[in-house]
Amino acid sequence: MSKRARYTGGGVAVGLVLLWVLPWWAALLIIVGVPVGGYLLLDKPQRARLRRVTRKEIDH
């Protein structure tokens, strides 16, 4: 199993647990808010680099 598949499976599992434990709107807020918050914490050059590279290059 690749790293990407493990991360995806873990993310899906966490999302399902959140949906089960919390109201759907709170779980959705967390599921969407964490990646958006992480992106917003990057400075301008890091955001530009992230948009420029391909997904395959991010993994390495």
Q: Mean of the pLDDT values across residues 29-58?
A: 84
Virtual torsion, Cα 6, 31, 39, 53, nearest 10 deg? 40
18 touches 31 (CB < 8 A): yes
Mean pLDDT of the chain: 84
Number of domains in the chain: 1
State both tokens at 2. 């690749």
Q: How confident is the model at residue 51 (pLDDT cuts 50, 70, 90)?
A: confident
Instruction: For 3-29, write each residue's pLDDT tens digit.
Output: 888 988 998 898 889 888 888 888 888
Range of the domain at 36: 3-59
Cβ partners under 8 Å of residue 21, min gap 6: 27
pTM of the model: 0.58
Q: For residue 55, what pLDDT is reported? A: 61
Burial class (CB in 10 A: 0-12, 13-18, 19+), 15: middle
